[in-house]
Amino acid sequence: MIRKAKMGDIQEIQRLIKLFAPRGVILPRSLSELYDHLRDFFVFLRNRKVVGICALHICWDDLAEIRSLAVREEEQNKGIGAKLVKACLEESRRLGVKRVFALTYETEFFGRLGFKKVDKGVLPHKIWTDCLNCVKFPDCDEVAVLKEVG
């Protein structure tokens, strides 16, 4: 089951992020950041336990980012990540956001969902906000992918 995150999910969201952030595949998020951005998150529940997370962060009037996508290893390759991204895309449509991007190493995964590789230079609002504070900046090796959602 997918639903919007609730206050009681914060600890589980942070645990999932802490599993993947040390590997460099998602950025770490402080507890304070998670509370600040709780409404960005969707959670996937199995047996009332959070097994997957994904956030849709609004960057500008026509641009949003898919971020913090993580699925417990034992639950991977079951379509959970794709369902979470699709929930974010549906929310972007409801909000009237026309373009959604991600910075990722999983370009094939996002490609199957209709995202296309783009130059990071087309994402100026992103570059001058989160990226300036990222440990990978300015030598980021992630690939930018973008989807027009209509």
pLDDT truncated to tens, each residue of the chain (150 aa)?
Answer: 999 999 999 999 999 999 999 988 888 899 999 999 999 999 999 999 999 999 999 988 889 999 999 999 999 999 999 999 999 999 999 999 999 999 999 999 999 999 999 998 888 665 566 666 666 666 777 899 999 997
Q: What pLDDT score does 141 carry?
A: 79
Domain formed by 2-148, architecture: 3-Layer(aba) Sandwich (3.40)
Tokens for 6? 């609730």
Q: What pLDDT score does 123 carry?
A: 82
CA-to-CA distance for 42 and 9, rounded, in angstroms? 10
Q: What torsion, rounded to 10 degrees, do the Cα atoms 19, 137, 65, 109 define?
A: -60
User: In degrees rounded to 5, what are phi and psi of residue 44?
Assistant: -110, 125
Residue 93, amino acid: R
Q: What pLDDT score does 60 carry?
A: 84
From the CB of residue 14, how many other CB atoms can be counted at a distance below 10 Å?
Answer: 18
CA-to-CA distance for 14 and 26, rounded, in angstroms? 12
Q: What pLDDT score does 118 carry?
A: 95
pTM value > 0.85: yes
CA-to-CA distance for 12 and 15, rounded, in angstroms? 5
User: In degrees rounded to 5, what are phi and psi of residue 47?
Assistant: 55, 45
Q: What pLDDT score does 120 carry?
A: 84
Tokens for 104? 């990722």
